Amino acid sequence: MQIQKQKLGFVILMWNSERVVEACLRSVFQLRSFKIGVIVVDNGSTDRSVEIAEKLRRELADERDAFLELITLDRNYGTTMPRNRGLHALEAFSPDYYCFLDSDTVVNDEAFLTLVGELERHPA
């Protein structure tokens, strides 16, 4: 009997993040203990951020059978509206847990196993 992996949903905000977004997305897709869904919201970047995220979308999502969507905005709207837009798009993935990240964040499996474990132990 195969155990169903919990689904982690990430909303990642990006703005002129070409130097950091690849490390962020690769770290998220290296979370092997979970099924991963990601919405990247670009806040009107003028560098190569969107190009890099699109390349990784094709590469990483296919590799992991994961959900990754890229939303591009025409300008920088700050954080609230882009996060809400990403959150709304992430509902299609139906995650068990949601996480907001900035594009300069690098995560690891151990941290999320600990976080999810604590959330499971303390559902309130």
Domains of the chain, by residue range, sit at 7-121
Task: Give the pLDDT score at 2.
Answer: 52
CATH of domain 7-121: 3.90.550.10
Burial level of 76, CB count in 10 A (0-12/13-18/19+)?
Answer: middle
pTM of the entire structure? 0.92
Per DSSP, helices labelled H in the chain are 21-29, 49-64, 80-90, 109-121
pLDDT tens, position by position, 46-87 = 999 999 999 998 888 666 677 899 999 999 999 999 999 999
**For residue 12, which amino acid is it?**
I
Q: 36, 5 in Cβ contact below 8 A? A: no
